[in-house]
Structure 1
Amino acid sequence: MCTTRKFAAVAGGIALTGGLLAGGAGAAGAAEVAPTAASDCGEGWYCVWTGENYTGTKAQIAGNNADLTVYPIFQKFKSRYQHGRNCDFKWFSEKNYKGNSGVIKRGSKLTGPEIRTIKSNKWVNCV
């Protein structure tokens, strides 16, 4: 998990993938989806949704990503689920692992009206 680098968005249960993330960090894609639940986030992923209560567009990432700003969903989401297999998720307020940061433990879920942003991430505390 800590060395895997992936990004995907899911529409109707079908994973859509596109080009590589900047710096070779993974594959990318996004699509509008019907209301879902946090349980739609597969094991090993950090998932975000544009709407509250895990609705709207869903995107998911695995691996370290130095620049998530190229994906607008990570600059404006309202729900998240950290479903990592064996690592915690460390987010940063700036690209290249800089700025404010915090660690989100495995299994953590959050939804609400506040808009959240992540500009880079690392997987930490791997067991």
Structure 2
Amino acid sequence: MRMTRKLAAVVGGIALTGGLLAGGAGTAGATAAAAADCPSGWYCVWSGENYTGRMQKVEGNNADLTGFSVFQGFKSRYQHGKNCDFKWYSEKNYKGSSGVIKRGSKLTGSATHFIKSNKWVNCV
């Protein structure tokens, strides 16, 4: 029993640290979340409707988000950027179709969305 708890603590620590090692994109656990969990200056997505499920967040420009699973199938998003709008692309390296999401914009629903790269634009 004691060994099982230690192993769970080590595995949990590794899972939590994984987001910190990812550079521009971070990860939150699979517990229920809320839009308020998205830090100021970040663009956050959740795997489930109503800001539930696994959360991933991105700060800065990213030419390839395909290594982050939630960006490849999310149902909720919050653009919590401080000074810029968020420009998403359907392909890596800022290619494919794109759109701009204004600061403060939130969206949740049953439709599944994906983003393969992003830039911050229209900065004030």
- TM-score scaled by structure 2? 0.81
Partner of 1:17: 20
Quote the sequence identity (%).
Answer: 66
User: What is the Cα-based RMSD across aligned positions, in Å?
Assistant: 1.6
3-state DSSP of counterpart to 2:61: coil
Q: Is the 8 A contact 1:81 1:110 kept in 2?
A: yes
Higher helix share: 2
Partner of 1:60: 57
Letter in 2 for 1:32: A
Query: How far 1:32 moved relative to its partner?
Result: 1.1
Q: Is the 8 A contact 1:18 1:29 kept in 2?
A: no
Query: How far 1:39 moved relative to its partner?
Result: 1.2
Letter in 2 for 1:115: T
Task: Return closer, same or farther for 1:28/1:41 CA change in 2, 3 Å cut-off.
Answer: closer
Q: How does 1:1-127 map to 2 (within 5 A)?
A: 16-20=19-23, 26=24, 28-33=26-31, 35-127=32-124
Letter in 2 for 1:105: K
Cα separation, 1, equivalents of 2:98 and 2:105 = 16
Larger Rg: 2
Cα separation, 2, equivalents of 1:107 and 1:57 = 20
Query: How far 1:28 moved relative to its partner?
Result: 4.2
Cα separation, 2, equivalents of 1:41 and 1:19 = 17
Cα separation, 1, equivalents of 2:25 and 2:108 = 25
Cα separation, 1, equivalents of 2:94 and 2:27 = 22
- TM-score scaled by structure 1? 0.79
Cα separation, 2, equivalents of 1:49 and 1:27 = 13
3-state DSSP of counterpart to 1:43: coil
Q: Which runs of 5+ in 2 are unaligned?
A: 1-15
Q: Is the 8 A contact 2:27 2:55 kept in 1?
A: no
